[in-house]
A and B are shown apart, each in its own frame.
Chain A
Amino acid sequence: MSMGRLIVVAIVALVAAAMGGSRRPRWWLALNWVGTAALLGAAMWILGGGAEWEWRSAFAVGGERLHLRLDRVGGWFLVLVAVIGGAGAAYARGYWPDRERPASAGRGRAWWSALVLCMALVLLCANGLHFLMAWEAFALSAFFLITLERERREVRMAGWLYLAASHAGTLALFAFFCLLAARTGSWDLGPMRDRPGLAPLFWVALFGFGVKAGVFPLHVWLPSAHANAPSHVSAIMSGVAIKMGLYGVVRFGGWLPVPAGAGWVLLAAGATSAVLGSAFALAQNDLKRLLAYCSVENMGIMLIGVGTGLLGAGSGDAAWGRVAMAGALLHVWNHGLFKSLLFFGAGSVAHATGTREMSRLGGLWRSMPWTAGLFAFGSMAIAALPPLNGFVSEWMVYLGLLDAAAGHARDAAVIVPATMALGLAGALALAASVKASAVVFLGAARTRVAAGAHECGWWMRLPMLGLAGACVCIALAPLMVWPLIQRSLGTWNIAWRGDGTPVPLAALGAAQCALVAVVAAGGFLLWFRARANGLRRAGTWDCGYSAPTARMQYTGGSFSALAVGWFAWVLRPDRRRRWPKGPFPRHASRVERIPEAVLERVIGPVGDVVMGASAWVRRRQQGVLPDYILYLVLGLVAVGLLVALGGVA
Chain B
Amino acid sequence: MSGALDLLTGLAMGLSLVALGTSRLPSLIRVAALQGVVLGTMPLVMEHDLRAMVVVVALATVVMKGVVIPVLLRRAMRTANIDRDMDPLIGFLPSLLLGAAGLIGAVLLARWLPLLPEHHESLLVAGSISTVFSGLLLLIGRSKAISQVCGYLILENGIYMFGLLLISSTPLLVEGGILLDLTVAVFVTGIIVDRIQRAFDSLDTRKLTVLRE
Contact = CB atoms under 8 A, between A and B. Distances in A.
A and B touch in the complex (CB under 8 A): yes
Interface of A: 618-619, 621-626, 629-630, 633
A362 B89 CA distance: 71
19 contacts: A618-B213, A621-B213, A622-B212, A623-B209, A623-B210, A623-B211, A623-B212, A624-B209, A626-B89, A626-B139, A626-B140, A626-B141, A626-B143, A626-B148, A626-B205, A629-B136, A629-B139, A629-B140, A633-B136
Contact of A625 (B136, B205, B210, B213): B205
Nearest to B89: A626
Please list the 5 inter-chain residue pairs (A to B) with the smallest Cβ-Cβ separation, ordered nearest first: A623-B209, A623-B212, A618-B213, A629-B139, A622-B212
Nearest to A622: B212
Interface in B100-148: 136, 139-143, 148
B206 interface: yes
A625 B212 contact: no
A67 B143 CA distance: 63
B4 interface: no
Given A621-B213, A626-B142, 12 more contacts: A618-B213, A619-B213, A621-B212, A622-B212, A622-B213, A624-B206, A624-B209, A626-B139, A626-B141, A626-B205, A629-B136, A630-B140
A625 B139 CA distance: 8
A334 to B, nearest CB: 53
Chief secondary structure at chain B's binding surface? loop
A621 to B, nearest CB: 5
Q: Which residue, of B140, B143, B210, has the highest number of chain A Cβ atoms within 10 A?
A: B140
B68 interface: no
Nearest to A618: B213
A629 B140 CA distance: 6
A409 to B, nearest CB: 59
A315 B6 CA distance: 84
Contacts of B148: 625-626
A619 B213 CA distance: 7
A618 B141 CA distance: 21
Contacts of B142: 626
Interface residues of B, number: 16
Contacts of B89: 626
Contact of A623 (B139, B143, B208): B208
Contacts of A619: 213
A576 B208 CA distance: 50
Nearest to B211: A623
A623 B212 CA distance: 5
Contacts of B213: 618-619, 621-622
Nearest to B133: A633
A647 to B, nearest CB: 13
B5 to A, nearest CB: 28
Interface string B172-206: 00000000000000000000000000000000011
Contacts of A622: 209, 212-213
Nearest to A624: B209
Nearest to B88: A626
Nearest to B152: A629
Contacts of A624: 205-206, 209
Contacts of B209: 622-624
Contacts of B143: 626
Nearest to B207: A623
A629 B141 CA distance: 10
Nearest to A615: B213
Nearest to B206: A624
A635 to B, nearest CB: 12
B162 to A, nearest CB: 15
Nearest to B155: A629
A633 B136 CA distance: 8
Nearest to B205: A625
A272 B211 CA distance: 50
Nearest to B135: A629
Contacts of A618: 213
A621 B211 CA distance: 9
B105 to A, nearest CB: 13
A90 to B, nearest CB: 52
B87 to A, nearest CB: 12
Contacts of A626: 89, 139-143, 148, 205
A315 to B, nearest CB: 58
Contacts of A625: 148, 205, 208
A621 B213 CA distance: 6
A624 B206 CA distance: 6
Contacts of B139: 626, 629
A629 B149 CA distance: 13
A633 B212 contact: no
Contacts of B140: 626, 629-630, 633
Contacts of B210: 623
Nearest to A633: B136
B213 to A, nearest CB: 4
Nearest to A620: B213
A624 B213 CA distance: 11
A205 to B, nearest CB: 38
A386 B89 CA distance: 80
B206 to A, nearest CB: 7
B183 to A, nearest CB: 21
Contacts of A630: 140
Contacts of B141: 626
B93 to A, nearest CB: 18
Q: Which residue, of A619, A625, A630, has the highest number of chain B Cβ atoms within 10 A?
A: A625
Q: Which residue, of A618, A619, A630, has the highest number of chain B Cβ atoms within 10 A?
A: A630
A111 to B, nearest CB: 36
Interface string B48-92: 000000000000000000000000000000000000000001000
A148 to B, nearest CB: 35
Contacts of B136: 629, 633
A623 B209 CA distance: 4
B209 to A, nearest CB: 3
B131 to A, nearest CB: 15
B38 to A, nearest CB: 25
A316 B148 CA distance: 77
Contacts of A633: 136, 140
Contacts of B211: 623
A630 B143 CA distance: 13
Q: Which residue, of A621, A622, A625, A626, has the highest number of chain B Cβ atoms within 10 A?
A: A626
